[in-house]
Structure 1
Amino acid sequence: MNLTITHQQGANLLLAEGTILEADFQLLADEIEKLPFTEDKYVLVDCASIRHLIKNNYGFSGYINNLLHLHAKKTSIILFGNNPQVLRLTKLLRLDHILYFAPTLDEAYTLLNKALIGRAAEATGEYA
């Protein structure tokens, strides 16, 4: 896994790209713990190799459990590069209201920017 941590528009962004193993989720959780509790946290997770990981390592339930563990740390999660099977399973589990999905990394950034703009507008009272 390649992990990039940046700070933009008052929020912390963790970008996890490549093959993400079960141990990598612990690294993500550790990095989230280091960030200030009062700042928003977003994790963009590359799911391009998820099918291989689910079949050969820790299964879909282990993958979802790790995502929920990150979410419990007050972190918004955007999954990009998903296949239709993963989307169907997460919707079936009713996780589509806490996990966000984007077909590509570019679209994940677009979704993130919309969230940041909405948060900024909410903070300034521009939207009622």
Structure 2
Amino acid sequence: MSNKARTAQAGVAYIAWQLARRGWEVLPASETQKQSTLLKVKKEGISSPFLIQSRAFSSKAAVSLGADITGPDSLPFDWMAITINVRSETPTCFLLNRQDVIERMKQDPNGPLYWVDPSRYIDTKFEGRWDKI
């Protein structure tokens, strides 16, 4: 397993642990993609499950979103959990909903890809806001 895969796996585990200790059930979004970083989250009393995209990094990094993003509905998740320093003793997680991501993304001037820079997501209003999910 590559370092990148271990970092991604650590991010998924961190998100699952944080949510499970708050009463959420965390499952892979697809039974066929057990290694996916897209998680289905549900809780008794909440009407329907939703999706959280985990993105994890060893340090601060830009988050790639892909191409052809035209609005919130073109994102394949409801929330994005961006964890930095994930393989350290003190990971930090920033939780952004779809609209937060759309408002902070920018397009590559030389191509079709979109991303969110660390300066746009590293903010105390997004840090560890598990109660907003």
Output the TM-score relative to the length of structure 2: 0.32
Specify which structure has the higher proportion of strand. 2
Output the TM-score relative to the length of structure 1: 0.33
